[in-house]
Amino acid sequence: MTLKITLAQLNFTVGDLSGNLAMMTNAARKAAADGAAMVVFSELALTGYPPGDLLTEADFLARVEAALAELLAASRATPGLHWVVGAPLTRAGAGKALENGLLVVVDGQVVLRYAKQLLPTYNIFRERRYFEPGQEIAPILTLGDTTIGFMICEDAWNDAGRDYPVNPFTQMAAAAPDFVVTLNASPSDIGKRGQRHALLSAASRRHNLPLLYVNQVGGHDQLVFDGASFAVTPQAGVVFEAARFAEAVVTLTFAGGAFLDAAGQKLASVSVEGLSVMDFYHRQIVLGLRDYARRCGFKRAVVGSSGGIDSALTLALAAESLGAENVTAITLPSRFSSVGSVEDSVALCANLGVRLYTHPIRDLVAAYEQGFADAFGLPLQGLALENLQARARGTVLMEYSNHFGNLLLTTGNKSEISVGYCTLYGDTNGGLGLIGDLYKTEVFALSRHLNEVAGRELIPHAIIDKPPSAELAPNQKDTDSLPPYPALDTILKVLIEGERLSAEEREQVRADYQRLTADEEGKAMVERIRRMIHKNEYKRRQAPPILHLRPLAFGSGRQMPIAAKYE
């Protein structure tokens, strides 16, 4: 019993049916050259994942049908090779008109069709909006003397039976294939790799089924998919893992219940630890920005450089992602800006090789102040004046973006976004937020990490070490309005993510939270932060998309009402 099978971990583009099919065809040719009997693509590979409401458009569905016909024709060019392709499939009868399905195609013929049974509707997933669940079956295909079972993503995530009344593994185990292939579109966060390995390894042991897990890679709007396709056996656990954050077309051999390399030799061992948290953040953001910019047609980016840590980190990540020559920084000093902040921006951009422009806003703000006083008979002051400065900066940045075609990157972090410490139509302007799912303490940690990786000072220590300030009022510090960031971040992690935190982080956060709330002052602080989170949902709803890094991100992840009463 020997079978060669190729994993095609590819960076599909949502809606690019012809481009996606071309990528699959190239991978199939490589699989055929390797002598594989089967090539496996990821969930909804034909359309890219997630296609969203494209699935409700008749023109798009007609293009899907045409692409499926082209796929059948393309398979004839690789005689004997079985293509396992994820695609939306039409169905008849009551309920939704589509299924999240897979086809096994060979020589222009469909030899197996299967529809995903479990359709997730939590966190970022909205599959029941578009698809009807498939029948409770165990799809099996026999190639020579090897039988193969098939699942699609969520089908394999309910073996504990907690989330759905159906467990597809039950029937699959009864069918007893030699191994199971599961097609996936699993977005990554800081704990997802370990979660996948643990869950699939446990299911493999429990049902005595070797498993082959094929995932897509690439950035799609707020989501980033890390690839990291893998193979697992009941005896050895995870025995193979494809590259993370990169495409990979890899041929394995299945023989005697084990996965081997293309030559039939033992595979290299797989690290249990994987990437560090900061390495993960770094690589996820870089891939996410590159793909977002590429898919949206941007080659250049622009960032407002305040001399603070958030804009510094955003600039460093942008320069790495797009090339320093494609990134522009603009410093926009007001009458409250310190000389040091401007000098820090100069030093930062020199370190990064990024062009820096200076556009003072003192006169702009003064003109608005005078206009306000003339129109309304009152001086502009306090919070309104502070926000005006942020909005003047945001307007200039959008002017530059519109005129030169650069993607404006917003620089808010998760701590500030959580409590509304940001200005609508000001520092929230932009097309994408790179660090909006990083708490402030993580912003500092990732900045230090980038310096360590570079082996030199990319982000000046003067920026990392100085107390954070919006510089919208004399001698202003963030701590004038907020608790110290270590305390704030602990509270936010409990209130926003809670049980979704990784086990290790949850234990530390709980201990810190208990210390913070040991007295009435700490409890009052928590209640104040809770109210700030709730009252600023309207700001988050209008903010740019942010790259997801943690288990529960703002935007398509956390969904809360605006006009609601929170007790």
Active site residues: 43, 116, 153
Cα(493)–Cα(471) distance, integer angstroms: 27
Q: Which residues of 451-466 are buried (b: 16+ CB within 10 A; e: fewer)?
A: beeeeeebbbeebbeb
Cα(511)–Cα(119) distance, integer angstroms: 36
Cα(380)–Cα(384) distance, integer angstroms: 7
Q: How far is CA 24 from CA 30, 42, 48, 219, 449, in A?
A: 10, 10, 12, 18, 37
User: Which residues in 425-475 belong to E strands, given as ranges?
Assistant: 432-433
**DSSP-assigned states of every residue in 343-373:** HHHHHHHHHHT-EEEE---HHHHHHHHHHHH
Cα(133)–Cα(131) distance, integer angstroms: 6
Amino acid at 486: P
Alpha helices in 76-158 (DSSP H): none
Amino acid at 269: S
The interaxial angle of helices 440-454 and 485-492, nearest 10 deg, is 110
Closest CA to 237 of 217, 213, 219: 213
Q: Please enumerate in sequence order all residues whose Cβ is within 8 A of that of 181, keeping only pairs 6 or more positions apart, or say none.
A: 5, 38, 40, 84, 148, 149, 150, 151, 211, 212, 214
Two tokens, residue 382: 């306090």
Two tokens, residue 246: 């990169």
Amino acid at 530: R
Two tokens, residue 37: 């009997």
Closest CA to 308 of 436, 523, 439, 464: 464
Is omega for the bond preceding 50 within 30 degrees of 0, making it cis? yes
3-state secondary structure of 134: coil
> Quick check: 214 and 73 in contact, CB under 8 A?
no
